[in-house]
């Protein structure tokens, strides 16, 4: 009887580890950007980037990491909303010749980022646009 109890405890333990390991997988998106861009007062070069949450809390800091240039930046969204579609992408406001990150859409949420007041004034003086860039979703 002790043998069966040990086997049952071992199976329960292993199943528990599997659930805990699954909880650690955080959604991420991969985007390839053909231009440099500004986020959190940092200018990042063109290249491939991975965007992921650093915790399991949806409204928390996101990490944007370049696999090409070993550059990364932490960003905190100003607001968050449910994603209208499951197609991940990032959105930029183009001001002059610069691209400013304004939103990241994952499969679950849209994270919005403020563009500074001075950038908004500059945008009012110059023609601007919005450039969406698609990415691929996946987990690690």
The predicted-structure confidence for 74-101, as pLDDT tens digits, reads as follows 988 888 888 787 788 899 988 878 889 9
The predicted-structure confidence for 95-135, as pLDDT tens digits, reads as follows 878 889 999 988 888 999 887 767 656 645 655 455 555 55
CA distance 43 to 26: 26
Q: What is the pLDDT of residue 45?
A: 92
CA distance 24 to 93: 33
Question: 3-state class of 131 per DSSP?
Answer: strand
Look at residues 45, 59, 40, 63 and name the one whose alpha carbon lies nearest to residue 114: 40
Looking at per-residue pLDDT, the higher value among 14 and 87 belongs to 87
Contact 123, 80 (CB under 8 A): no
The predicted-structure confidence for 33-82, as pLDDT tens digits, reads as follows 999 998 888 889 999 999 998 887 767 789 999 988 888 899 888 888 88
């Amino acid at each position: 009887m002790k043998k069966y109890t040990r086997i049952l405890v071992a199976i329960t333990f292993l199943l528990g580890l599997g659930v805990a390991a699954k909880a650690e997988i955080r959604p991420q998106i991969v985007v390839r950007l053909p231009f440099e861009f500004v986020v959190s007062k940092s200018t990042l070069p063109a290249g491939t980037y991975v965007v992921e949450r650093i915790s399991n809390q949806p409204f928390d800091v996101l990490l944007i990491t370049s696999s090409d240039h070993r550059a990364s930046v932490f960003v905190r969204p100003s607001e968050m909303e449910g994603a209208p579609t499951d197609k991940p992408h990032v959105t930029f406001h183009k001001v002059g010749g610069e691209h400013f990150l304004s939103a990241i859409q994952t499969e679950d949420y849209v994270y919005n980022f403020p563009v500074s007041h001075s950038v908004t004034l500059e945008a009012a003086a110059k023609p601007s646009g919005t450039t969406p860039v698609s990415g691929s979703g996946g987990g690690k």
